Amino acid sequence: MKKTIKIFLSAITLFTLNICTISGYYAINLPDSYYVSDGGSLELSTVFSIDAVSDNNTASVSRNNVSGVQKTSLKLFGMFPVKNVDVRTLQQPMLVPGGQPFGIKLLMEGVMIVGTGEVKTDNGIKCPAQECGLCKGDVILSANGKPVTTNDEILEIVSDSEGSSIEIIYTHENEQKKTTLKPALSASDGEYKAGMWVRDSMAGIGTVTFCEASTGRFGGLGHPVCDSDTGEIIPISSGETAQVTINQVLKGTAGTPGELHGTFSSALSNGIIYNNNEYGVFGEMFLIPDDIKPILMGLKQDVKEGHATIRTTIDETGPHEYDIEIEDIDYNGDKTKNMTIRVTDEELIQKTGGIVQGMSGSPIIQDGKLIGAVTHVLVNNPEKGFAIFCENMYESGISG
């Protein structure tokens, strides 16, 4: 009898331990919030059954095409609590898959300091920028009360100062600050200088992820446009898109990422950019391709490991779909690295080595839904890389 009880208690203990382990795993790895399609319910594709039980008494104010928050409990096998999550109902959009390259032209909001340097004066070496607290990555917004938007404007203000102090309004790590810059007289050319280099604009090439046919709004890249010297996200005052022709591919190899080379095929703008954030660049296209059928945007819980395709452009023939495998899904990791992907398409591997720079934003399609976009390549293995959930891009740049 005692032996039977002991076996029974051991079985109960083992069962409880397993339940706690599984529940703990899902509590850590499942996200804290979800969207569900209008009229639908939250269904999770997990190894062990997870049921979503809503609290019908809790909801908050809705915004745009998204409902208020519905508090929901996730339960293992419908019995054992895992975690509480927020669920919002989304009028799930139909999106035109991109895959075409586009030119990016951004005008900064202010001018960004990309470096500081010495000024040789008759009284020794000085760096006015460093002396007043300015550093690489800071963005100057105004000087002596005058908004600054170009390199020439700040250069003119410093040159015309005749050594008088200049009040500088700037941002440092997203915090607005004020300081006083006193230019130094250069012994080499007799000009007043600030001891800093600044940048007011940038241009580059990326890939369109999606467009909304009804509005012309689009999202691309899947990651921010950052300054090449500072690594900081470029704050923009305005931007525009342009047509691009891909004319060369540098094939990627282990340790050396490949790259798409293209040229702006027209000086005319074909769209505007109004946002550059952690999830990509967003704006409006003047002309939406009418030969591509819109498809449903997949939500993050729709994504599963296994086969998918990416739609991208590697030559003048335009976008094509290529096979990939989604190897891992990370709901709570880096904002732009929600999926680990691997290129399996032999044609793409032969031509590019896998994922190359310039493919960022290439849409990922699985089960007929647009679920994400390519964002990064693994330098030591160009056949593998990372991708972002399309839901994250749409929320931050279109519906937000």
For the chain, what is the total number of helices (H) and then of strands (E)?
5, 26
pTM over 0.95: no
Q: What CA–CA distance (Å, rounded) separates 264 from 227? A: 20
Number of other residues whose CB lies within 10 A of the CB of residue 85: 18
- Reduced to 3 states (helix: H, G, I; strand: E, B; else coil), residue 152 is helix
Q: Tell me, what's the pLDDT at 55?
A: 67
- Is the pLDDT at 58 greater than 50? The verdict is no
Tokens of 205: 């090439």
Strands 80-90 and 306-312: unpaired
Cβ neighbour number for residue 215 with a 10 Å cutoff: 12
Phi/psi for 388 (5° steps) reads -110, 150
Closest CA to 298 of 326, 260, 268, 256: 326
pLDDT tens, position by position, 222-259? 999 988 888 888 888 889 999 888 888 899 888 888 89
CA distance 85 to 41: 13
Residue 307 near residue 366, CB atoms below 8 Å: yes
pLDDT at 70: 80
The letter for the amino acid at 20 is C
| pLDDT tens digits, one per residue of 2-46 | 667 777 667 787 777 878 888 788 888 888 888 887 777 788 778
How far apart, in whole angstroms, are the C-alpha atoms of residue 328 and residue 322? Answer: 19
Confirm if 44 and 31 have CB atoms less than 8 A apart: no
* pLDDT tens-digit readout, 320-339: 999 999 999 998 877 899 99
Handedness of CA 372, 375, 379, 382 (dihedral sign): positive
Residue 301 per-residue DSSP state: G
Q: Tokens for 48, please give them.
A: 């062990």
